[in-house]
Every structure is written in C-alpha cells, then in structure tokens.
Amino acid sequence: MTADPLLTLFLPVALGIIMLGLGLSLGLADFTRVVKFPKPVLIGLGCQLLLLPVLCFGLTKVFGLAPALAVGLMLLAASPGGTTANLYSHLAHGDVALNITLTAVNSVIAILTMPLIVNLALMHFMTGEQAIPLQFGKVLQVFVIVLGPVAIGMALRSRFPAFAERMQKPVKLVSALFLLLIILLALVKDWQTFVDYAPLVGGAALAFNLLSLAVGYYVPRLLKLNLRQSIAIGMEIGIHNGTLAIALALSPVLLNNSTMAIPAAIYSIIMFFTAALFGWWVNRTHGQELAAEAA
C-alpha cells in the first residue's frame, strides 16, 4: 500500500486532539494515587494486561477469524482504556478517580505492552511475508506524538485550571466527532472485507466486549473491592481506546493494514451501547449498595 496523505495527516491530528482532551482531565495526583491505593490499580492493570489478551486469543480461535482480523482483535485487546470510560463510570456511579488513574498509567505502560502483544499475534497468525513487525522504535514515536498532547493538557490544567475546565467539554465534543470519523475511515478503507466478515467480526467484537466488561466487574468483586471500584474497572476494561488501535493498524509507517482496523472500528460502535446497558444493570441491581457507599 502507498502512503495515504489522509492517513499520515488526519490520524495524528485526530489522535492528538483526543489525547489533549485526556490531558486536560489529568493531574499528577492521578499518577501518585497508585502509590497511595495500589490494590485497585494493580487489579485493574492485571485484568487489562494479563487476562484480556489470553481471553481474546481464545476468542479468535472460537470464531475462526482470518489472520489479519485476529491480529486486529489482539491489537484492540492490547489497547489501553479509552477516555470515554471516565464519562460512563461517572454516569454509572463508579469511582471516576480510579478510572482516570488507570487510563493514565495504562496509556504509559502500553508503550511496552502493545508492541509485545501485537508482535506475538503477528508471529502466530500471519505468515512470514504477511507479518510486518511492530518495531518498538516506531511505536515509541507514535506514543510520543500521542502522549505529548496529554502532557500539554496536564500542563495547561496545572497552570490554567479555569481555562482547562472550560475547554474540557468542547474538546470532548471535537474528540467524539474525530472518533466517529476515524471509525468511518477504517470501515471505508476496507469496505469489502467489512461487508464479507461483518457478522463474524461483529460477533467476535461483541463477545470480547461483554467478556471485557464481565472480567472488569466480577474479578474485582471476587477480590473484595467495593462496588464503585468494580464498576470503574469494568468500564475501564470494557471501553478500549479503539482510536489508538485503528490508528496503529492504518498508519502507513506501522502495520499499514486496513483489515486489522475493522475489529476496533466495530468494537468502538458496540461498546457505547453495552457500557450503557452495563451501567443501567448495575445501578438497578445494586442501587442501595451504591447509595450506602456514596453516603
């Protein structure tokens, strides 16, 4: 594939604006909170970094996904939580501070874990000619571009808190628009594959989404975290950063494979509905417990 100017220019700008929005909501306390309250953060990271890739690999086998689609689903599993998880957690009465901390920490850790998981997936699913290793140096460049706006957003929040507060809503609106455009771009780039595999990939994406929400909610409950923390981790793990996964798949300097972007594009649509249903269910089922914890 030749480099598409739309991809080389649009994707970095879109990612930058979305990550700037994340930075405007972060402070240094979101990182230092890990030291003060390590248990919920470690449980959330354990679910995200260890359990999900293993479960996702199993789903690629159960659904018999084509190699590029299987790598795309693994790429999604390796992606950190999305910023939308914070909003959904707030609406569902989850521990939003924990969400923000997990998003912040996991976005940094993903610099190491994403190339590792994706390269293992490439080695397993793709033949030698098909596999294009996700080189650490190139991924590091992408994350510098991605995390740079986060640092700018954090600096603005620290220096000009009132301005950062005012900008959060408009930046979130623009981020949502860019997310929609990125999903559409991913589908248009490989429309025929999407049409051919939509039911199969849609089923796999839905199964992975439900599994992510279940793992994120029930594992913390089993490990005696409170309800608000369990809701937060459920949302964090159930709402992946599909934008990042799509960008890595489409990027001409990285994977450069539009088929690999399809699972993340479909997942990014499904997750909004399932997360809303999850929030409704947990509040309907445990409303009294949540009220007691909030008191």
Summarize pLDDT for 249-289 with one digit per residue, the tens.
Answer: 888 778 888 889 899 989 988 998 999 999 999 988 887 77
Nearest to 112 by CA among 143, 82, 149: 143
Question: What pLDDT is recorded for position 77?
Answer: 94
pLDDT in tens, 81-119: 877 887 788 888 888 888 888 888 888 888 888 888 988
Residue 2 confidence class, pLDDT cut points 50, 70, 90: very low
Percentage above 70 pLDDT, the chain: 93
Question: What pLDDT is recorded for position 70?
Answer: 95
> In this model, does residue 145 exceed pLDDT 80?
no
Task: Give how far Cα 102 sits from Cα of 25, 41, 54, 256, 292, Å.
Answer: 13, 6, 20, 29, 24
> In this model, does residue 130 exceed pLDDT 70?
no
The mean pLDDT of the chain is 83
* pTM recorded for the entire structure: 0.82
Q: Between 59 and 26, where is the model more confident?
A: 59
Lowest mean pLDDT among 3-7, 36-40, 175-179, 264-268: 3-7
Question: What pLDDT is recorded for position 1?
Answer: 41
Question: What pLDDT is recorded for position 72?
Answer: 94
State CA 40 to chain mean position distance: 18
Nearest to 230 by CA among 240, 217, 212: 217
> In this model, does residue 52 exceed pLDDT 90?
yes
Residue length of the chain: 295
